[in-house]
Amino acid sequence: MRPQPTQEQIDEWVERSLAEDLGEGDVTTETLVDPTALARAQMVAKQDLVVCGMGLIHTVFRHVDMAAIFSREREDGSFLKKGETLIAIEGKAAALLKGERTALNILQRLSGIATLTRAFVEKAGPVQILDTRKTTPSLRVFEKYAVACGGGTNHRFGLFDAVLIKDNHIKMAGGIRPALERMKASGHQEPIEIETTNLEEVKEALEGGADIILLDNMTPETMAEAVLLIRGRARTEASGNMTLEKVEQLANLGLDCISVGGLTHSAPAVDISMNFDLPA
């Protein structure tokens, strides 16, 4: 199930974004456009893409024109070819112009994440593609939703909903074994995941009873050895500057999942245009 943002979260982001763009008012539109004039607009894909953010588009245009009408709408997660229409909108021309950039910014950003995620999922074959916490501050729920729309799997949402012992935790705890012992003694019920960077650390993690072993920045050859060493006694997650080419190399090693920070911190915006017509 996709992690749906709440309507309250959607309203808050849209209102903040519109206020940032409109400020005291759209001086160009208010000077040139009859406030009673009507228009139709279509959002069109200018490249192949995976759609994400349609619910937010409704909210953007309803904030500037409560009577806006939507049609030809594609669902989040849909794959569109270049030239296909994402959605058509009818309403007051001035309102559509005021909401245009905010709507496109949101749609291009979220669809960009979904599109990149789909590319990684296709390269990974049977291996799950996970996101990370490397998200835009305050927009995590939307960006993780976009990952899910692209076919990826959401990792922990924050520091509160999963145990992941990283390198700095290990240093502060005095090593892998002490870190695992203290976490197990704490009584937390969540599966315990711990980061490793070489085969000796993998052995320590296994001996300490880790539930998930993170294989960080290892070569494909070392990861293959680690998977053989673990032999299903713990789940395996690969991480570390993942590219499409690297994921394709790792797809058949027997890993359970691969985490990709770039899904959210480096996804390029997709190209979408909004074309206006006067009503017949």
Residue numbers annotated as active site: 101, 134, 166, 195, 216
Partners of 193 in the β-ladder: 164, 212
Backbone angles phi, psi at 277, to 5 degrees: -140, 150
CB contact at 8 A, 237 and 226: no
Q: Is the dihedral of CA 226, 228, 233, 239 positive or negative?
A: positive
- Alpha carbon of 174 to those of 10, 60, 195, 197, 239: distances in Å? 43, 51, 14, 16, 23
Backbone angles phi, psi at 49, to 5 degrees: -160, 165
Rounded CA-CA distance 122/115 in Å is: 11
